[in-house]
Amino acid sequence: MSKRCLSVLAFLLLLCCSLSIFAQTKSTDAGGHQWWQHAVFYEIYPRSFADSNNDGIGDLKGITSKMGYLHDLGVDAIWISPCFPSPQVDFGYDVSDYENIDPMYGTLADFDHMVAEGKQQGVRIVLDFVVNHSSDKHPWFIDSKSSRTASHRDWYIWRDGKGPGQPPNNWMSTFGGSAWKFDPATKQYYYHYFYAEQPDLNWRNPAVEKAMLDTTGWWYKRGVSGFRLDAVDTLFEDPNLTDNPVLPGTNKQGDPNTDEIHNKKLPEVHEVLKKLRKVADESDAVLIGETWTSNIDELKEYYGSHDNELQMPMDFMFTTVDKLSPPEFRRQIAQVDSAGGWPVFVISNHDKVRSYNRYGDGKNNDAIAKLMGAFYLTLRGTPIMYYGEEIGMENNDPKRKEDVKDPIGRTGWPREIGRDGERTPMQWNSDTNAGFSQKDPWLPVPLTYKTHNVATELKDPNSVRQCHVVSPQLQGESRTGGIEHVGLAPEGNLQPRRQRLCLRQSEDLGGDAAVIRKRPRSDAGTVRSHHRGSDEVIDF
Ligand code: NOJ
Ligand code: CA
């Protein structure tokens, strides 16, 4: 080959390399942070956020109509709980088509419109990807169940029983009863870690893996900025079906407690996460994990040994601190910091009693809600706010079994009352049904909607909501650890006298100003706001 040809070849090679590097370049800020590191995320439970067609159930057009509200709150990305076609046995966590929108929520055109409006308002869309299982009404499962030789048979986990009427092993469904359901037609059992209507996908089958990875790519092309990955801990099971050790006592469903060492957190999970991450990286997308870890080493693993798995594994150990306990918070924050990955803070979600109830003492609930907002929204890391948390929404738990909608609340009543209480409609104003819908909503709104609603709180400079507005300046400071939380310092405390701390952007955050606002109080204290390298001490 001539010298000239060689240099042309070398030039083309160089060009290709730089193009591919360019394609993978992440959008980072001046401090080297990626978009999701200086973002505030906000979880939306779509059934309950805003109802545009007054059928009592929220929808995508409803979400689109509230993009301005989200923008003003300082939200950069919304994670929408599943809005795909679903029989709604687990309210969307039973998906029957991964590449469409449930008609109850709208259409793909509504989805595209929502993405476009989000772009206008600087709000990205993150979807919820139910990776562990599909609905039993998904065409894959319908085919799988049709015969032992069906082409999708091996897309799910089918096994013979141990003997007549005996499931393959002692694994229990976390939603109650055995995790195996017998199919009389093909005379085998299929495995379901959640409801029987949620059969587990067989991730050991490369065809399943390919279909699921392709689905993420399909949504990225449609403008999605990432996924919250549902139930990643349960993706794989021991192929030998070894029984789990039985522990003393029973759970809320009355089943024997077991140590789920053979059907949870298997190492194979990490190989799948790496593959999902590779696809995500091609679109500068983020992966958030529903990662129920019991110690920091487990959490660390979810980031991946080379930062090649989840960028944002949620630290649920933080949510186990159910009281205002500075030493406990300090311990948790130090631990998550030591994991080396980017911390992700959450205090409520659609599966957990609202933070307003968990932290509230019954007397100072609003003050405590303000404190909690001011606190976790300014920690170094990325916060995920749950809709309604910003206005001090509280749980509205069902009082009678016949009112319960969540199936686990019906089977487990009264020890397990289900999750309806934390999923009630967003409180927009003090009109009927809190302005959510003109029709009676699918779940009743709590009585406090008269005082705790967006319209009323926007007018009140001392409202819970005003302590949840995250301005860009505040975000900049907090994401890099620029805010010191004195209440958490060894000598500090989070006693009631400190509960009036409130972050305000309008008055206190002009440019480089301090972030913790003085409130008129008789019992004065001090708040230190560590700011741009210098300490300011403010009396209050
Ligand atoms: C976790 C989800 O957050 C929960 O709501 C759901 O019931 C289970 N995964 C099953 O998908
Ligand atoms: Ca609707």
| Per-residue three-class SS string for 185-198 | CCCEEEECCCCCCC
The band of 334, judged by pLDDT with boundaries at 50, 70 and 90, is: confident
On the question of pLDDT at 484 being above 90, the answer is: no
The band of 12, judged by pLDDT with boundaries at 50, 70 and 90, is: low
Give the pLDDT confidence score for residue 492 in this predicted structure.
43
Catalytic residue among 29, 259, 282, 431: 282
Give the pLDDT confidence score for residue 321 in this predicted structure.
86
Amino acid in the structure at residue 68: G
Q: Using CA atoms, how far apart are residues 482 and 475, in angstroms rounded to an integer?
A: 10
Give the pLDDT confidence score for residue 487 in this predicted structure.
52
Give one DSSP letter per residue of 244-292, joined into a string: PPEEEEE-TTSPEEE---SSSS-THHHHHHHHHHHHHHHTT-EEEE---
Amino acid in the structure at residue 178: S
- Higher-pLDDT residue of 376 and 477 is 376
On the question of pLDDT at 520 being above 90, the answer is: no
Is residue 369 within 8 A of residue 340, CB to CB? The reply is no
Range from 52-61, 309-318, 408-417, 529-538 carrying the lowest mean pLDDT = 529-538
The band of 524, judged by pLDDT with boundaries at 50, 70 and 90, is: very low
Q: What is the number of the ligand closest to the CA of 81? A: 1
Q: Give the number of the atom of ligand 1 that is nearest the alpha carbon of residue 90.
A: 7
Give the pLDDT confidence score for residue 373 in this predicted structure.
82
Give the pLDDT confidence score for residue 290 in this predicted structure.
98
Q: What is the mean pLDDT of residues 498-525?
A: 31
Give the pLDDT confidence score for residue 501 in this predicted structure.
40
Least Cα distance to 509 among 499, 518, 500, 517 occurs for 517
Pocket test of ligand 1: the residue of 44, 48, 80, 93 to mutate, having most ligand atoms within 8 Å of its CB, is 93
Q: How far is the CA of 486 from the centre of ligand 2 (A)?
A: 45
Give, using CA atoms, the residue closest to atom 6 of ligand 1.
Answer: 93
On the question of pLDDT at 509 being above 60, the answer is: no
Give, using CA atoms, the residue closest to atom 5 of ligand 1.
Answer: 351
Q: What is the number of the ligand closest to the CA of 406? A: 1
Query: Ligand 1 site: residues with CB under 6 angstroms?
Result: 90, 93, 130, 194, 230-231, 290, 350-351
Q: Ligand 2 is a single-atom ion; what residues have CB below 5 A from it?
A: 51, 53, 55, 57, 59
Q: How far is the CA of 52 from the centre of ligand 2 (A)?
A: 5
The band of 7, judged by pLDDT with boundaries at 50, 70 and 90, is: low
Q: Using CA atoms, how far apart are residues 385 and 364, in angstroms rounded to an integer?
A: 21
Q: Is the dihedral of CA 135, 136, 139, 140 positive or negative?
A: positive
Q: What is the mean pLDDT of residues 473-499?
A: 53
Q: How far is the CA of 28 from the centre of ligand 1 (A)?
A: 32
On the question of pLDDT at 388 being above 80, the answer is: yes
Q: What is the mean pLDDT of residues 122-134?
A: 98
Q: Is 282 a catalytic residue?
A: yes
Q: Is 491 a catalytic residue?
A: no
The band of 203, judged by pLDDT with boundaries at 50, 70 and 90, is: very high
Q: How far is the CA of 495 from the centre of ligand 1 (A)?
A: 35
On the question of pLDDT at 528 being above 60, the answer is: no
| Alpha helix segments (H runs only) across 250-393 | 268-282, 296-303, 326-338, 355-359, 365-376
Q: Give the number of the atom of ligand 1 that is nearest the alpha carbon of residue 132.
A: 11
Whether the model clears a pTM of 0.75, i.e. scores above it, the answer is yes
Give the pLDDT confidence score for residue 469 in this predicted structure.
80
Q: How far is the CA of 93 from the centre of ligand 1 (A)?
A: 6
Q: What is the number of the ligand closest to the CA of 45? A: 1
Q: pLDDT digit string (tens) for 211-250?
A: 999 999 999 999 999 999 999 999 999 999 999 999 999 9
On the question of pLDDT at 380 being above 90, the answer is: no
Edge-to-edge strands, sheet with 180-183? 158-159, 188-191, 180-183
Least Cα distance to 440 among 423, 461, 425, 422 occurs for 425
Range from 185-194, 275-284, 354-363, 509-518 carrying the lowest mean pLDDT = 509-518
Return the DSSP state at 446: P
Give, using CA atoms, the residue closest to atom 3 of ligand 1.
Answer: 351
Give the pLDDT confidence score for residue 246 in this predicted structure.
98
Is residue 117 within 8 A of residue 52, CB to CB? The reply is no
